[in-house]
Chains A and B, each alone.
Chain A
Amino acid sequence: MKIFSHYKKKYGAKFFLAVFFVMCETICDLILPAILSQIIDVGIAGKNMEYVLLKGGLMLFITALGAIAASARNVISSTVSQKFGTELRLDLYKKIQTLSLENIEHFDKASLVTRLTNDVTQIQTLVNGLMRIFIKGPFLCVGSLIMAIQLNAKLASILAVVIPIVGMLIFMNMKMGFPLFIKVQQVLDQLNGVMREYLSGVRVVKAFNRFDYEVEKFNKVNQELQLKSVKAMRIISVFGPGIMLTVNFGIVIVLWFGGKYVHLGEMQAGHIIAFINYMTQILFSLLLISMVFNMFVRAKASTERVNEVFSQVNTMKWDHYPRESTAIKGRVDFQNVYFSYGKIAEEAVLKNVTMTCLPGERIGIIGSTGSGKSSLIQLIPRFYDVTSGSVKVNGEDVKDVNPKWIREKMGIVPQQSILFTGTVLDNIKWGRENATAEEIETAARIAQAHDFIIALPEGYQTKVGQGGVNFSGGQKQRIAIARAIVRKPEILILDDATSAVDVLTEEKIKEALKQYAEKLTCLIVAQRIVSVMDLDRIIVLDQGEIVGVGKHSELMESSEVYREIFYSQIGKEM
């Protein structure tokens, strides 16, 4: 809970103001039965009309007072919890955005989304609840107890029996019910798993005719769920009436002994009514307390998950933001680079990689899946830090400089072309905020995207659906390339970014790039050999090592792996 101290400082005063109003509200609630009993015992029994009206008026007044307190509490608690939740969410989001990819990979991306949405909401609900019932429960309990004892201490000794029993029943209910409901949830997850699998694999199921097997699997879990749910619900059906019965017995006992005390003149009828009233209030306050407990349990898990993110320490450090060096532009050096994701124990993805990309050079990188192509590329914009060795951009070791400085110089087109919601124009502009319409069109033309974009009914203003569902893979890739080009980078990195673009179009893109910027350093990762074979230099990777560097003709002579790739795609006889 350490991270919350910051919020405590900010919202603490208001929080306690809300608590203060809750207390006022509770006091008003507690006074009302007492006045009512006075009306009955003094006013009615004494046939004092004036007293009845006076006390009745007092009741109305206190009711109004309670209402004002409750309303004030509502406004304050709503404001505090909403603002707190909003701020917590923003801070969490900021934190995530500043973490390195290595940090982020600790978490599943989907789980980061839930942390930002559900978990924050859960904590927000708890904070709101704290201001409303956390204080109210115990306060109501103690207040009612005091009022009851004040009415008649001897009668109040009944409470010493009833309250522990009720408390125990509530406790047992939670103790026995909780694990059962958790089990129900688990079986429900299982059932959902079976159904999700069935839906995703429905073609396989049908192709292999395995309905019976699937049905059997489903029935088993379904039955299990039924049994577990019934068991959990039946626990409640025992304790619910049990608690009610205990309290109701308490009422009967109060009536009986109360009758005796009234007979002895120690009490009056109105007191009995008030006493019963306080007793039921105590029960509800116990229920409130148990509810707070539930909320805590729920929010605790969320708090832990949010805390986990906050406690991440950025693994990347840097000293400076170098001044613009005009000497070298668009040069990349790798020196004896070793790299592995996460722990050192894992096998290195890159081993002893040494290479240099000179300004203006166009370099292809090819190799099997898992040979380390993408990993190599990702070290250049410092998405990850090398395990050993060094990566230099324009002569600066990336380990020493702010990643922002490096990334400013780059245009990157990732393997999965992600488009954001907005128009096509917005998406290309994403590369550079202040790009002119002309620049955008130029970039789109180079990426061979202009023609298909203007063929759309709304042209550049066409809306992109979430994830770019309304564009084909090739179109998305071309928009992503335009986005990188509009940035006017010194180094352009295409990470298998033309896999869905046909060979001819890809050729045109490369040609246009060459003409557009002669000094632009290009690194092109590809699966297709035709994508790289006409580049200045080709680097062949196999199992994390460079096994060949050179032009196509040289590699056909010298590299076994390169030849293998070539023949697997082109065929032997060509």
Chain B
Amino acid sequence: MSQKDEQKTERNPSSSDNVGGIRGSLSGRRGRVPIVKPKNFLATFKRLWHYMGKEKNVLAYILLFLLIESFLTLLGPYLIGLSIDSMAASNGFVDFKALEIVVMALILVYVASGILTFLQGWLMAGMSQRIIANIRRVLFNKLQSLPIAFFDIHPHGELMSRLSNDIDNISGTISQSTIQLLSGSIMIVGSLTMMMVLSPFLTAVNLLTACLVILLARVIANKTSTLFKEQQTQLGRLNSHIEETISGIQLVKAFNHEDKVIAAFDDVNMKLCEVGLKAQIWSGFLMPLMNVINNFGVALIAIIGGVLAIKSIITIGVIASFLSYSRQFTRPLNDLANVFNLLQSGIAGAERVFEILDEQEETGDLPNAMVLKNPKGHVVFENVSFGYRPDVSILKNISFLSTEGSSTALVGPTGAGKTTIVNLVTRFYDVTNGRILIDGIDIREYTRDSLRRCFGIVLQDAYLFSGTISENIKYGKPDATDEEVKNAAKMANAHRFISMLPKQYETQLSENGANLSQGQRQLLAITRAILAKPSILILDEATSSIDTRTELHIQDALLKIMQGHTSFIIAHRLNTIRGANNILVIDHGEIVEEGNHDFLIQNEGVYYQMFFDQFKILREYRV
């Protein structure tokens, strides 16, 4: 983007006829943007218009100021022409009276247009930022009501880019592109009119050079757009090579492949250089060549205007004014295409944002939904079937019962549907068929809010937020006292390591608790769940990423809190779940076996097989 900025300003000083006062924005936001065409320009624009809401009045003022200012700007060169004429009319004698009037008028015009520009910028800054903050707020609020499925499908990187880049683009569209497009159009029409008034003949000459400029810009834009695309591809290749070999640098070293990856890098790097060079040279030609054509136009106007002036068809002042107008005519002409592209990509960004706003929300609570109060934790699955997509069923006809205070373990291979069961009971997803009852009532008849409040969930990847340890523990119960926090931590065996930290409970955690070990994070997540005092506890591979000795210590804590709670445990280490009241063996979305450990071992079925596969060597060893 910076390159284009430079080119833009670089072009201006080379103009050799800048007599008409200057007008320009210091904050040019004209990047070389990839042109992304919106699917439905008008509809999206209309919808964006909707978001202007109350700002429409401010916008009206801005447009009014813009209109007046453009008119005044058009007046500038004309007045300067008049003042020149007042000097050159009769050789050597200056018509001071006329000059005085013209100069006064000029001062008025300049001051007025200065004030108007300032007001525009001032109002625009407030308006565009208010609108953007509003859209961002609406979008974030929307995220709250979207189902978990939405976040599972969309990669976070993509969502982030919508939340930041796309909204940035919209902001650019509102504050710059629209205005530039409008003022540019006014300038083009106005300058053309003024030129026609001053001298139709010179106007014809000028239009000729303008056509040349447009033609040239077209040719070069065509050439460079393919080159830039190619450059982007090579850059992508280079980036992924860098990404791969830097993150795998230990492997590169282990296999003595430094020279090999350097050679591969050199290869892609050279290709990038080649295409980058072509792209840069071609695009670099645009400005000097335009300059040439513009200067050529100036020279033509000087020659023809000179001839006309000698023949007294026009005055010198007219030539001076005309040169300014021709500049004001071609400059926005050059920019307009670029501004329009910006506008398009802004609208396309808005489209992507609106796509999220149009996403199906989590189904609302039933009109007479109940609040789940003091839940006992009696859970029943009745012929539950479910698929994330209608054509692929993940769970088939699952039925089981977990009585109050019992522990149920879910085991089975990856992808068998264990986590899906958890997602259903917590209503992250709704069942496709059948129903789930808690305390005898279909969970869809509770308010979602009160339903979720009865769960304490500890996931494999214990997510922590940036903030202090105590803030993180309190996440489920913000009004907890320090004493409660400490007690919960003691229960979870987390108190010991926390009190060893220099700032103890006030220790600041970085994003996702990166400054703690996996085991410590898990302990905090368990503490967090304990503090929330749930009636149903869900441990989804809560200890899988911890080594078994550490797990022993956490297990202690877990056993403590499982007492008196209905609990669901998912684990792939079978040793972890031996003590569960009921073990459900799940495969391909179905319950294939059910019972406690001893029963299942005696049964010599799937569970038996799984359990002893783990210890096959052990058995051999004992023989």
Cβ of B483 under 8 Å from chain A: no
Q: Which of A36, A79, A94, A218 contacts B17 (CB 8 A)?
A: A36
Stretch at the interface among A154-162, A232-240, A341-349, A436-444: A232-240
B115, A241: Cβ atoms closer than 8 Å: yes
A284, B9: Cβ atoms closer than 8 Å: yes
Q: Which of B18, B102, B115, B272 contacts A86 (CB 8 A)?
A: B272
A56, B465: Cβ atoms closer than 8 Å: no
A305-322 near B? 1/0 per residue, CB < 8 Å: 000000000000000000
Cβ of B141 under 8 Å from chain A: yes
Cβ of B363 under 8 Å from chain A: no
Residues of A within 8 A of B298 (CB): 32, 36, 59
Cβ of B401 under 8 Å from chain A: no
A2 to B233 CA separation, bound complex (whole angstroms): 33
Closest residue to A270 on the B side, CB-wise? B316
Name the distance in Å between B570's Cβ and chain A's nearest Cβ. Answer: 14
Q: Which of B143, B272, B518 contacts A369 (CB 8 A)?
A: B518
A176-203 near B? 1/0 per residue, CB < 8 Å: 0000000000001001110111111111
Cβ of A301 under 8 Å from chain B: no
Residues of A within 8 A of B260 (CB): 433
CB contact list, A27-83 vs B, under 8 A: 29, 32-33, 36, 39-40, 43-45, 47-49, 52-53, 55-56, 59-60, 63-64, 66-67, 70-71, 73-75, 77-79, 81-83
Closest residue to B426 on the A side, CB-wise? A207
A251, B21: Cβ atoms closer than 8 Å: yes
A94 to B550 CA separation, bound complex (whole angstroms): 42
B12, A284: Cβ atoms closer than 8 Å: yes
Cβ of B57 under 8 Å from chain A: no
B299, A63: Cβ atoms closer than 8 Å: yes
Name the distance in Å between B68's Cβ and chain A's nearest Cβ. Answer: 14
Cβ of A330 under 8 Å from chain B: no
Name the distance in Å between B79's Cβ and chain A's nearest Cβ. Answer: 9
Cβ of A106 under 8 Å from chain B: no
Stretch at the interface among B35-43, B159-167, B338-346: B159-167
Residues of B within 8 A of A112 (CB): 246
A503, B617: Cβ atoms closer than 8 Å: yes
Cβ of A516 under 8 Å from chain B: no
A209, B22: Cβ atoms closer than 8 Å: no
A98 to B261 CA separation, bound complex (whole angstroms): 11
A83-112 near B? 1/0 per residue, CB < 8 Å: 101100110011011100100100001001
A255 to B104 CA separation, bound complex (whole angstroms): 11
Closest residue to B257 on the A side, CB-wise? A430
Interface centre among A125, A222, A298 (most CB of B within 10 A): A222
B94, A260: Cβ atoms closer than 8 Å: yes
A39, B306: Cβ atoms closer than 8 Å: yes
Closest residue to A31 on the B side, CB-wise? B16
A71 to B2 CA separation, bound complex (whole angstroms): 20
B124, A237: Cβ atoms closer than 8 Å: yes
B133, A225: Cβ atoms closer than 8 Å: yes
A197-240 near B? 1/0 per residue, CB < 8 Å: 11111111011111101110011001101100110011011111
Residues of A within 8 A of B578 (CB): 571
B617, A507: Cβ atoms closer than 8 Å: yes
B319, A248: Cβ atoms closer than 8 Å: no
Residues of B within 8 A of A200 (CB): 156, 463, 512
A272, B84: Cβ atoms closer than 8 Å: yes
A49-B307, A234-B121 in contact; A39/B302 too (CB < 8 A)? yes
Stretch at the interface among A350-358, A392-400, A410-418: A410-418
Cβ of A470 under 8 Å from chain B: no
Name the distance in Å between A384's Cβ and chain B's nearest Cβ. Answer: 11
A197, B80: Cβ atoms closer than 8 Å: no
Q: How large is the interface on A (under 10, 10 to 19, 20 to 34, 35 or more residues)?
A: 35 or more
A43 to B309 CA separation, bound complex (whole angstroms): 10
A86, B270: Cβ atoms closer than 8 Å: yes
A569 to B251 CA separation, bound complex (whole angstroms): 31
Cβ of A420 under 8 Å from chain B: yes
B231-264 near A? 1/0 per residue, CB < 8 Å: 0000000111011111111111111111011100
A400 to B284 CA separation, bound complex (whole angstroms): 54
Closest residue to B247 on the A side, CB-wise? A109
A321 to B27 CA separation, bound complex (whole angstroms): 60
A32, B295: Cβ atoms closer than 8 Å: yes
CB contact list, B120-146 vs A, under 8 A: 120-122, 124-126, 128-130, 132-133, 136-137, 140-141, 143-144
A233-B129, A276-B19 in contact; A466/B151 too (CB < 8 A)? no
B370-393 near A? 1/0 per residue, CB < 8 Å: 000000000000000000000000
A262, B87: Cβ atoms closer than 8 Å: yes
Residues of A within 8 A of B547 (CB): 368-369, 527
Closest residue to B147 on the A side, CB-wise? A206
Cβ of A487 under 8 Å from chain B: yes
A414, B2: Cβ atoms closer than 8 Å: no
Name the distance in Å between B152's Cβ and chain A's nearest Cβ. Answer: 9
Cβ of A372 under 8 Å from chain B: no
Cβ of B368 under 8 Å from chain A: no
Cβ of B114 under 8 Å from chain A: yes
Closest residue to B464 on the A side, CB-wise? A201
Interface centre among B144, B160, B550 (most CB of A within 10 A): B144
A206, B452: Cβ atoms closer than 8 Å: yes
Residues of B within 8 A of A466 (CB): 240, 243-244
Residues of A within 8 A of B449 (CB): 209
Residues of A within 8 A of B9 (CB): 284, 287-288, 291
A207, B621: Cβ atoms closer than 8 Å: no
Closest residue to A47 on the B side, CB-wise? B310
B87, A259: Cβ atoms closer than 8 Å: yes
Cβ of A129 under 8 Å from chain B: yes
Closest residue to A86 on the B side, CB-wise? B273
Name the distance in Å between A95's Cβ and chain B's nearest Cβ. Answer: 10
A248-B22, A291-B5 in contact; A40/B273 too (CB < 8 A)? no
Name the distance in Å between B92's Cβ and chain A's nearest Cβ. Answer: 6
Q: Which of B122, B244, B251, B299 contacts A59 (CB 8 A)?
A: B299
Residues of A within 8 A of B446 (CB): none
Stretch at the interface among A9-17, A132-140, A331-339, A445-453: A132-140
Residues of B within 8 A of A64 (CB): 292
B295, A63: Cβ atoms closer than 8 Å: yes
Cβ of A245 under 8 Å from chain B: yes
Interface centre among B133, B255, B414, B519 (most CB of A within 10 A): B255
Residues of B within 8 A of A268 (CB): 88
Residues of A within 8 A of B519 (CB): 369
A209 to B477 CA separation, bound complex (whole angstroms): 10
A59, B242: Cβ atoms closer than 8 Å: no
A239, B26: Cβ atoms closer than 8 Å: yes
A263 to B97 CA separation, bound complex (whole angstroms): 13
Name the distance in Å between B447's Cβ and chain A's nearest Cβ. Answer: 10
A244, B475: Cβ atoms closer than 8 Å: no
Stretch at the interface among B221-229, B492-500, B608-616: B608-616
Name the distance in Å between B326's Cβ and chain A's nearest Cβ. Answer: 13
Cβ of A269 under 8 Å from chain B: yes
Q: Which of A49, A219, A414, A568 contacts B552 (CB 8 A)?
A: A568
Closest residue to B296 on the A side, CB-wise? A63
A59-B299, A195-B160, A209-B452 in contact; A569/B280 too (CB < 8 A)? no
Q: Which of A117, A133, A173 contacts B6 (CB 8 A)?
A: A133
Cβ of A388 under 8 Å from chain B: no
Name the distance in Å between A362's Cβ and chain B's nearest Cβ. Answer: 14
Q: Which of A252, A284, A383, A420 contacts B103 (CB 8 A)?
A: A252
Name the distance in Å between A124's Cβ and chain B's nearest Cβ. Answer: 9
A40-B319, A226-B129 in contact; A79/B86 too (CB < 8 A)? no
A29 to B178 CA separation, bound complex (whole angstroms): 33
Name the distance in Å between B465's Cβ and chain A's nearest Cβ. Answer: 6
Closest residue to B304 on the A side, CB-wise? A56
Cβ of B592 under 8 Å from chain A: no
**12 examples of A-B residue contacts, CB within 8 angstroms:** A33-B16, A44-B319, A49-B307, A78-B277, A125-B2, A192-B160, A206-B148, A370-B517, A404-B256, A414-B251, A503-B616, A574-B615
Would you list the 6 A-B pairs with minimal beta carbon distance, nearest first?
A237-B121, A70-B288, A56-B303, A233-B125, A32-B16, A284-B13
